[in-house]
Amino acid sequence: MDSRVIKFNETADFILQRIGDRPEVAIVLGSGLGALADKIENPVIIPYSEVPHFVQSTAVGHKGNLIYGTLNGKKVIAMQGRFHYYEGYGMEQVTFPIRVMCSLKIKALFVSNAAGGMNTAFRIGDLMIIRDHINFLPNPLIGKNIDEMGTRFPDMTRPYDLELIKSAEEIAAEHGIKLQKGVYVAGTGPTYETPAEYAYFKSTGADAVGMSTTPEVIVARHCGVRVFGMSVITNEAHDLDSTAADGYKNDHKDVMAAADKAAQTMSFLFAQMIGQL
């Protein structure tokens, strides 16, 4: 057996001992989006520091806990904070929790993030369904394939599950929730992008930009797990002309504030979708 699989199983066994049952859905909560964890009933909270083979989340707004419980009648496990490449972690460390979730036999993965909106129709606080992505981070599948978990060359034609996207749109329409839909592009960070980089990413067909998510999605799809992704638009990703005109700059405190404001709506939507699985 691949030595990496042994570590995944060791961590999965530890979590199972603590929670007593297998979760049906895993959720990754991005910057400022940890509020969904408060809606999980009968929670079992496990700090990352106690989990074998986990690294520590150092990003602002990431509490660093696994939270298991029920959400709208379904057994879920949520990551209250993720690991990033910009923190100095390699792709195996960044995606290790997703491998563990797959070892726990989850049926679906819900990922969220804070992102800059490059689409001029987007406004701060909008929720964007991720319909596709462009990955400028190292591909987490580079290296020896983990044959026990997936094929060497996994298909990425539909990385984000079409049925889950349809479910989100139907629930949003029923409850009068405005949703955007677009392509998410992931860069390394930790610097926010330059206006020229925003213009370049926009020219490639991207609508929003961030520093995470795509490696997790790639690994989940390698394992054959369904994925739903959502970005909270927390800042305007301006081109050079507009930034020169208005003196705009990106500030992480503002990003966090926008994420906090939108977190309740996203939490409601996720809970409704998970209840229908």
Q: Tell me the DSSP string of 48-106.
A: GGGSTT-----STT---EEEEEEETTEEEEEEES---GGGT--HHHHHHHHHHHHHTT-
From the candidates 10, 35, 86, 250, which is the catalytic residue? Answer: 86
Give the pLDDT mean for 147-171: 98
Range in 24-28, 55-59, 240-244, 273-277 with the lowest mean pLDDT: 240-244
Q: What is the pLDDT of residue 65?
A: 93
The pLDDT assigned to 70 comes to: 97
Is pLDDT of 249 > 70? Answer: no
Q: What is the mean pLDDT of residues 71-82?
A: 95
Q: What is the pLDDT of residues 185-196, one digit of tens each?
A: 999 999 999 989
Pick the catalytic residue from 211, 237, 263, 266: 211
Check 84, 133, 222, 238 and give the catalytic one. Answer: 84
| Beta carbons within 8 Å of 65's beta carbon, 6+ residues apart | 37, 45, 46, 47, 48, 80, 81
Is 79 annotated as catalytic?
no
Mean pLDDT, residues 121-134 taken together: 94
Q: What is the pLDDT of residues 30-41, one digit of tens each?
A: 866 777 888 999
Known catalytic membership, residue 85: no
- Better-predicted residue by pLDDT, 58 or 266: 266
Q: Does 62 qualify as catalytic in the annotation? A: yes
Among candidate residues 26, 48, 59, 62, the one labeled active-site is 62
Model pLDDT, residue 35: 76
Among this protein's residues, is 112 annotated catalytic?
A: no
**Is 212 a residue of the active site?**
yes
Query: What does the pLDDT read at residue 244?
Result: 45
Residue 43 has what pLDDT?
A: 96
Residue 260, pLDDT score? 73
Instruction: Report which secondary-structure segment, H or E, holds 230.
Output: strand 226-236
76 class by beta-carbon count within 10 Å (0-12 exposed, 13-18 middle, 19+ buried): buried
- Residue 114 annotated as catalytic: yes
Q: Identify the active-site residue in 235, 237, 259, 271.
A: 235
Is 235 considered catalytic here?
A: yes
Whole-model pTM: value is 0.93
pLDDT tens readout for residues 179-231: 999 999 999 999 999 989 999 999 999 999 999 999 999 999 999 999 999 99
DSSP states of 104-130: TT-SEEEEEEEEEE-STT--TT-EEEE
169-181: average pLDDT: 97
Q: Is 248 a catalytic residue?
A: no
Reported confidence tier of residue 245, pLDDT bands at 50, 70, 90: very low
Catalytic residue among 31, 57, 103, 119: 31
- Residue 53 is among the residues annotated as catalytic for this protein: no
Residue in 9, 72, 250, 252 annotated catalytic? 252
